[in-house]
Amino acid sequence: MLKRLLQKHDRLWNDATRHPFLEGCQAGTIRPEQFNTWLTQDYLFVVEFTRFLANVLAAAPVAHFDVLLGGLVAIKEELNWFREKARERGLNLEAEKQATCEEYTQYLASWGVKPYPVQATALWAIELAYNQGWQLPGQMTAPYDEFADRWGNPGFTEYVKCLERQANESWQTASEGVQPQAEAVFCEVARLERDFWQMAFSETG
Ligand code: HMH
């Protein structure tokens, strides 16, 4: 049960979803170099995350297609939105991945070949981290409110609930040994999410 993972690893999850980077967006004190680093690196992350999502769809039971196909449609628009935001800020998206982004995307690729319940758990955790992280600080200052809304809006929150339901369902029929793998992947997601915020926050420009 995914709720139990959140309780058991609450400190880890707290660090994944509460970070000075997000507080800085809320207060409007984040520096442009920090925010732009996050934006560029997150675009590079989302490109690889799109491939991961396609892998999850490929491994999913047909009853789960509807939700996952909805996610893939949304990510088509999201990738274009990232390109638009980068253009507005004069950012070059042909950048190199920083070490944490590289590490996270390599993990994504490795999770794409794990049993479906493990993939479904990773997908849920990745989306929940942003859904909670961008909402927890409270109303954000412009221009960051647009970013907070992308992952904090009610439609996205509902999508994450659907992912939770599907991942829970997949756990019920998982063979022995799969649940510990899913738990380990959940903990990796939490650590990598924290490191990703820290990567951008540490940017000195
Ligand atoms: C690092 N985690 C990271 N980036 C994202 N865009 C999401 C989660 C949500 O898709």
Residue 127: CATH number of its domain: 1.20.910.10
Q: Confidence class of residue 131 from pLDDT cuts 50, 70 and 90?
A: very high
Q: Is the CB of 164 under 6 A from ligand 1?
A: no
> Are 183 and 98 within 8 A, CB to CB?
no
Q: What is the mean pLDDT of residues 181-199?
A: 98
Q: What is the mean pLDDT of residues 101-108?
A: 98
Three-state DSSP class for residue 61: coil
pLDDT in tens, 159-186: 999 999 999 999 998 888 999 999 999 9
* Distance in Å, CA 89 to ligand 1 centroid: 20
Dist CA 199 CA 96 (whole Å): 14
Q: CA 23, 124, 94: angle at the middle one, nearest 5?
A: 65
Residue 200 in tokens: 């951008």
State which residues form the domain around 179: 2-202
Q: Please check the confidence at residue 205 and state whether its pLDDT lies above 80.
A: no
pTM (predicted TM-score): 0.97
Dist CA 28 CA 162 (whole Å): 32
Q: Is the CB of 127 under 6 A from ligand 1?
A: yes
Dist CA 73 CA 76 (whole Å): 5
Instruction: Please count the structural domains in the chain.
Output: 1
Dist CA 119 CA 170 (whole Å): 10
Q: What is the mean pLDDT of residues 110-127?
A: 96
